[in-house]
Amino acid sequence: MSVVLNSEEVQQVLSKMSEQIRVSASEGEDIAFIGIRSRGEILAERLSEMLSELLGIEVPCGTLDITLYRDDLNSPSGDWQPVVRTTEIGFNIDEKLIILVDDVLYTGRSTRAALDALIDLGRPKSIRLAVLVDRRGREFPIQADYFGVKSDVQPGKSVKVNLVESDGKDEVVIE
């Protein structure tokens, strides 16, 4: 196991990402964060708080469950039972710049599922993707607009994101 980001570096990377989002957004643009369950929602909450502080206004944040939009839901080789949780978006997404947040971008399948789910909820002005780790190995033509680190992890290895809120510590490791 090798550590890609320690606790301090995770905080620094999120701070850098929130600044990049602030700089790239148009003045007065209506921004909202939506995190993909489960670690994406935690990262979205942190980024929302950071951007709210930078802009001096509250930037809304919601949570998206993509379980029913996954393309492996009915896979004959799948032995897992999906657990559907709630989508919690307490604001209208229409005409907003939505920053979709996930912990790791790898194949692009989760992001594709999230885009389908978002479009079913409304018509955002635009959607941008923010991820903590951008990993090589895309299966779909999807890319991050904002990322913390790029990682060239070999197939067969996994990137694990641990966050204080769910795992007791902040770190990114390769297993």
Domain boundaries, the chain: 8-153
Give yes or no for residue 146 having a pLDDT over 60: yes
**CB environment 59-88: b (16+ within 10 A), e (fewer):** bbbbbbbbeebbeeeeeeeeeeeeeeeebe
What pLDDT, in 10s, does the model give residues 1-46?
899 999 999 999 999 999 999 999 988 899 999 999 989 999 999 9
Ramachandran class of 153: left when φ > 0, alpha when ψ lies in -120 to 50, beta otherwise = beta
CA distance 165 to 98: 23
> CB under 8 Å, gap of 24 or more: what pairs does 153-160 form?
159/4, 159/104, 159/106, 159/133, 159/135
**What's the pLDDT at 83?**
75
Q: What are the structure tokens assigned to 40, written together? A: 């994406």
**What's the pLDDT at 73?**
58
Q: At what angle do helices 39-55 and 7-24 cross, to 10 degrees?
A: 60
The set of residues, in sequence order, having a beta carbon less than 8 Å from that of 173 and lying 6+ positions away, is 1, 2, 3, 4, 159, 160, 162
The residue among 51 and 77 whose pLDDT is bigger is 51
Across residues 94-106, what is the average pLDDT? Answer: 97
Hey, what CATH topology would domain 8-153 get?
Rossmann fold (3.40.50)
* Residue located via tokens 């607009």: 145
String of DSSP letters for 102-115: EEEESSSHHHHHHH
Give yes or no for residue 71 having a pLDDT over 80: no
CA distance 145 to 98: 12
Element (H, E) at 118: helix 109-121
Give yes or no for residue 77 having a pLDDT over 90: no
